[in-house]
Amino acid sequence: MEKTIKQLSPATIETFSSQLRGKIVMASDASYDLERKVYNAMIDKHPGMIVKCVDVADVIASVNFGRENSLLVAVRGGGHNGGGLGLCDDGLVIDLSGLKFVRVDVANKTVRVGGGNVWGEVDHATHPFGLAVPAGIISTTGVGGLTLGGGGGHLSRKYGLTIDNLLEADMVLADGTFVTVNAKQNTDLFWAIRGGGGNFGIVTSFKFQAHDVKTVFGGPTLWPIEKTEEIMEWYHDFLKNSADDLNGFIATLIIPGAPFPEHLHNKQFCAIIWCYTGDMDKAEEAFKPILAKDPLFQMVGEMPYPSIQTLFDGLLPPGMQWYWRADFFNELGPEIREQHLNFGSKIPTPLSQMHLYPISGAASRVGKEETPWAYRDAKYAGVIVGVDPEPANADKITTWCKNYWEALHPYSSGGAYSNFMMDEGQERVQASYKHNYDRLARIKKQYDPDNLFKVNQNIKPAN
């Protein structure tokens, strides 16, 4: 059984504090309420202590302090996790937000990133060199959590998931040792962290392969929600027959307001958000069949890569209520399309939405056992999010999200992308890692036998 911070003596805390360059935030501090906030305002956890690490030595000291004092330990990267897995109640939060740096090796097209960076900082550093690392679609998401869970976004079809571009990581393990993991060194850990989440240690720096992406051609196309079934059927076939250069995720959503024209506001749509990374001279040609589907509205064009990466940041600032549900899907058959029309027509608040991210192209050409990310043969990673700024609407968005998910789940592939799940219990975690779960559990037993790192989509140490 874990101890709480309150059970520790002032002298124990004083000694720990003297080992740090970063600062400790306690419940009595004025900044406590600010520091314990995460992106999802539905999460209201009260840690006993937050350690704002500024270097690897702080991380090592914090891991040792947590383990030696039998504390519940949470690790916070960008703080975006839907289930609030960067926080815990009463225990120790190891906050990596001060562990930031981005170094671009232009000659080798690689990027070294701190364990606490967010993706917008990476895009900002790589863009002047015409380089990009495949990541998610919102720039404020943490590099740590997104990468360790997998990482899907606009470049997935062209260059694979974020983990497919991870070359190396530096880690602090549960016993406080510091290791470097890559394809030659600590290969079991290198395998495990490419999808297995924060279960195996704290990553203090990541090294990624970057790619030549300077400008992209993309943006949203919208059709009235009544056309959902027709557009989904067309989209599935169209993408299957398209080059990896073209990525597009399909959504049911409401247009909440500006920058979209007023006649679209507060109406439901079936939307596809495109990103083309091929030859810009051929972009208009590539979009001809899309525009031939006669979208009610389209805003596609050429833009710098960081622009598509920040396109939705303004709509989705931190501090709103978020309820998440997810599943993988192998197809978009008639029963599935019917449910998307049904629930897409009943979206309860302007920011609630459903996305289906394609797992095709380069992301699907990685073997099912090459990384823990088991669903390489699924066609879509689906996610439904109930979102609203108003806490009074929490029940409304939760109910819609759960009902939508329950209607679709029988047609799903079984598990979900771990980064799109909330705290949904052990069975769901196992279903999401499928055939790779047992190997993950064996590695967990070797490197974290007492499950120090358990505030995550937890892999229990093997018996």
Ligand X SMILES: Cc1cc2nc3c(=O)[nH]c(=O)nc-3n(C[C@H](O)[C@H](O)[C@H](O)COP(=O)(O)OP(=O)(O)OC[C@H]3O[C@@H](n4cnc5c(N)ncnc54)[C@H](O)[C@@H]3O)c2cc1C
Q: Which residues bind ligand X (CB under 6 A)?
A: 39, 75-82, 85-86, 96, 115, 136-138, 141-142, 144-146, 148-153, 197-198, 202-203, 316, 419, 455-456
**Minimum CB distance to ligand X, residue 87 (Å):** 7
**Minimum CB distance to ligand X, residue 380 (Å):** 13
66 vs 144, which CB is nearer to ligand X?
A: 144
228 vs 321, which CB is nearer to ligand X?
A: 321
142 vs 295, which CB is nearer to ligand X?
A: 142
CA 390 centroid distance within chain: 23
Strand 301-304 and strand 73-76: the pairing is unpaired
**Minimum CB distance to ligand X, residue 224 (Å):** 25
Tokens of 155: 């470049």
**Minimum CB distance to ligand X, residue 433 (Å):** 15
**Minimum CB distance to ligand X, residue 152 (Å):** 4
Q: Which residue has the tokens 């590099």?
A: 143
149 vs 348, which CB is nearer to ligand X?
A: 149
Helix and strand counts by DSSP (H, E) for the chain: 14, 19
**Minimum CB distance to ligand X, residue 338 (Å):** 26
**Minimum CB distance to ligand X, residue 76 (Å):** 4
- CB under 8 Å to 129, separation ≥6 — which residues? 104, 106
5 vs 138, which CB is nearer to ligand X?
A: 138
Residue 437: HSE in the Cβ half-sphere, 13 Å Cα cutoff: 16
149 vs 344, which CB is nearer to ligand X?
A: 149
145-181 in b/e burial notation, b at 16+ Cβ within 10 A?
Answer: bbbbbbbbbbbbbbbbbbbbbbebbbbbbbebebeeb
Residue 116: HSE in the Cβ half-sphere, 13 Å Cα cutoff: 17
**Minimum CB distance to ligand X, residue 203 (Å):** 4
Say how far apart CA 163 and CA 176 lie, in whole Å.
Answer: 24
Asked whether the beta carbons of 431 and 421 are under 8 A apart, the reply is no
139 vs 430, which CB is nearer to ligand X?
A: 139
**Minimum CB distance to ligand X, residue 8 (Å):** 22
Q: Which residues pair with 219 in a beta bridge?
A: 274
How far lies 287's CA from each of 269, 281, 283, 300, 312, in Å? 20, 12, 6, 9, 21
69 vs 309, which CB is nearer to ligand X?
A: 309
Say how far apart CA 218 and CA 311 lie, in whole Å.
Answer: 11
35 vs 341, which CB is nearer to ligand X?
A: 35
The shares of helix, strand and coil residues in the chain, as percent rounded to the nearest 5, are 35, 25, 40
How far lies 188's CA from each of 166, 363, 382, in Å? 14, 21, 29
Asked whether the beta carbons of 54 and 22 are under 8 A apart, the reply is yes
**Minimum CB distance to ligand X, residue 148 (Å):** 5
Helices (H), ranges, 19-95: 32-35, 56-68
The number of residues making up the chain comes to: 463
**Minimum CB distance to ligand X, residue 136 (Å):** 3
146 vs 341, which CB is nearer to ligand X?
A: 146
- CB under 8 Å to 22, separation ≥6 — which residues? 51, 52, 53, 54, 55, 58, 98
42 vs 96, which CB is nearer to ligand X?
A: 96
C-alpha angle 231-237-238 in degrees, rounded to nearest 5: 80
Say how far apart CA 201 and CA 190 lie, in whole Å.
Answer: 11
